[in-house]
Amino acid sequence: MSKPFVLTVIGTRPEAIKMLPVVRALRAAGVPLRLVATGQHRELLGQAFAAFDEQPDRDLGLMTEGQTPTDVATRAMPAIAGLIEAERPALMLVHGDTTTAMAAALAAFHAGVLIGHVEAGLRSHDLARPFPEEFNRVAIDTVASLLLAPTAGAAANLRRESPRDRTIVVTGNTGIDALLHVAGRLDGGELARAGLAPDPAKRLILVTGHRRESFGPGFERICAALARLAARGDVEILYPVHLNPNVREPVAARLGGHPNIRLVPPVGYVEMVALMQAAAVVLTDSGGVQEEAPAIGKPVLVMREVTERPEAVALGAARLVGTDPDVIVREVAALLDDAAEYAARSKPVFPYGDGRAAPRIAAAVVEFLAGRGDTPVDFWQIGAGGRSQ
Ligand code: UDP
């Protein structure tokens, strides 16, 4: 039998961005680790790994064209179950709310392997939004024993839901670790080199949108809003369009060739951080971008009806605008046409983390595994940090 180790399974771009700081911190803490990619988002995952100069130890290559969440789950579960059976990890560490993470947690649960959940406790309290992510995160938290909550609010959600004996640690969100890591290394030439330099005479509106619950009518409304915003002569809209055909096709059909709107393929994470810095306003339905933009001091308008990330909304840095074109256009104008309003909502705020989440998570993992008694103690010794509650 091999030494006890942590198995980490990731499938998508945000998981790579938010788990690679954890992978590095675990390695720095001397924790043996295996990083497996399912390839739920094959191209996007590759871009995210490139930003951190990392590679998965193994890529299961499970992505199929036009896959549904059921396709992802039913292909990932047996593959991950086989890995668990062959390698018997001490801990399965998953991130967030993707179908890959849910399938990996469930496979570990069935095999009697302990589960740690990074970004535990986020709740919109609406199973339809975000779909299917709200179910995935509830399911993972139900079977996890080590719950690494990014905020006090997320930890409170977990405590409210279950009196079960489990370890809950507030760590901050590792997305902020990733953001600060990349932002600190920018040289200012990234956008020009990638052919993404914005028009200096215009104000940049950076858009991302890909949520499953917006497929169909939601995207029609989002496109209508962007077309109306583009009619303002003083803005340039840049939209890195997700590769999912349910997003790419309607967006290309409605907005392709539109003056003032640049549709580009998904950009690497380094370029994404540079674009957020260059933007005047960020318009998104993404979870991660809702966390990142406030830390860069960019007002973010969230094209959703509910969010599991209420902290930035409470601080005024983020606002929920849904997908109604009238509301989106009005809220963008409220920022762009009112300097005092813009100034008040564009101060950098850090409700999601201080950039030190990953070492806290590594320390929590070490302590958790040492506490199991079946793990050699000196194996887990680290110098970094302590338990943060
Ligand atoms: N992102 C990126 N390139 C893009 C769009 C987004 O690197 O073209 C990054 C973004 O900065 C954030 C993450 O991808 O860190 C968010 O991923 P996504 O919106 O796919 O998922 P979510 O956060 O909603 O789960």
Rounded alpha-carbon distances, angstroms, from residue 96 to 23, 139, 219, 335, 373: 15, 11, 24, 31, 28
> Is the distance from the beta carbon of residue 272 to the nearest atom of ligand 1 less than 6 Å?
yes
**Stretch 354-374: mean pLDDT, rounded?**
89
Active-site residue, selected from the candidate residues 119, 177, 271, 285: 119
Q: Do 221 and 86 fall within a single domain?
A: no
Compute the average pLDDT of residues 292-305.
98
Q: What is the mean pLDDT of residues 341-363?
A: 97
Q: Cα(261)–Cα(256) distance, rounded to whole angstroms? A: 8
pLDDT-based confidence at 164, cuts 50/70/90? confident
For residue 39, the model assigns a pLDDT of 85
CA of 49 to the centre of ligand 1 (A): 13
- Between the CA of 171 and the centroid of ligand 1 the distance, in Å, is 21
Looking at the structure, do residues 205 and 135 belong to the same domain, yes or no? no
Tell how far the Cα of 292 is from the centroid of ligand 1, in angstroms. 10
Q: Is the pLDDT of residue 373 over 80?
A: no
pLDDT tens, position by position, 266-285:
999 999 999 999 999 999 99
Question: Considering its fold, how many domains does the chain have in total?
Answer: 2
What is the value of pTM for the model shown? 0.94
- Regarding whether 363 and 241 lie in a shared domain, the answer is no
pLDDT in tens, 189-202: 999 999 999 999 99
CATH number at residue 210: 3.40.50.2000
Claim to verify: residue 120 and residue 227 sit in the same structural domain: no
* Residues 75, 210 share a domain: no
Q: Which domain holds residue 221?
A: 190-345
For residue 375, the model assigns a pLDDT of: 40
Is residue 185, in this structure, part of any structural domain at all? no
Q: Are 102 and 20 in contact (CB under 8 A)?
A: no
Q: Does any domain span residue 83?
A: yes
Look at residue 361 and tell me if it is in a domain: yes
Q: State whether 91 and 113 are in the same domain.
A: yes
DSSP 293-344: HHHHT--EEE-SS--S--HHHHHTSEEE-TT-HHHHHHHHHHHHT-HHHHHH
Q: Do residue 227 and residue 294 come from a single domain?
A: yes
Does the beta carbon of 290 sit less than 6 angstroms from any atom of ligand 1? Answer: no
Residue 376 resides in a domain: yes
Residue 222 resides in a domain: yes
- Reply yes or no on whether 119 is catalytic: yes
Q: Taking 80 as the threshold, does the pLDDT of residue 389 lie above it?
A: no
- Written as one string, the DSSP assignment of 216-271 is THHHHHHHHHHHHHHTSTTEEEEEE--S-HHHHHHHHHHHTT-TTEEEEPPPPHHH
Residue range 8-50, pLDDT digits in tens:
999 999 999 999 999 999 999 999 999 999 987 888 898 899 9
Output the furthest CA–CA distance in the chain (Å, rounded). Answer: 66
For residues 222-237, average pLDDT: 97
Q: Is residue 181 part of a domain?
A: no
289 lines ligand 1 (CB under 6 A): yes
Check whether residue 42 and residue 122 sit in a common domain.
yes
Compute how many other C-beta atoms are within 10 angstroms of the C-beta atom of residue 67: 16
Q: What is the pLDDT of residue 42?
A: 83
Active-site residue, 185 included: no
Mean pLDDT score, 353-366: 97
pLDDT score at 383:
29
The pLDDT assigned to 3 comes to: 62
Check if 305 is active-site. no
Atom of ligand 1 nearest to the CA of 269: 7
- pLDDT band at residue 382 under the 50/70/90 scheme: very low
**Stretch 88-107: mean pLDDT, rounded?**
97
At 44-62, the pLDDT tens digits run 898 899 999 999 999 999 9
**307-323 residue pLDDT tens:** 999 999 999 999 999 99
- Identify the pLDDT of residue 386: 31
Is 133 noted as a catalytic residue in this protein? yes
Domain co-membership, 91 together with 34: yes
Closest of 73, 77, 162, 171 to residue 120, by C-alpha: 171
* pLDDT of res. 379: 30
180 is a domain residue = no
Looking at the DSSP bridge assignments, the partners of residue 34 are 7
Task: Please tell me the residue having the least CA distance from ligand 1 atom 9.
Answer: 269
28 and 126 in a single domain? The answer is: yes
pLDDT of residue 4: 80
- Report yes or no on 326 lying in a domain: yes
Q: Is residue 353 predicted with pLDDT exceeding 90?
A: yes
Q: What pLDDT was estimated at residue 76?
A: 97
Atom of ligand 1 nearest to the CA of 266: 8
> What pLDDT was estimated at residue 120?
98
19 and 168 share one domain:
yes
Residue 306 has pLDDT above 90, yes or no: yes
242 shares its domain with 137: no
Q: Provide the residue type at 228 as one letter.
A: R
Q: Would residue 324 show up in a list of annotated catalytic residues for this protein? A: no
Average pLDDT, the chain: 93
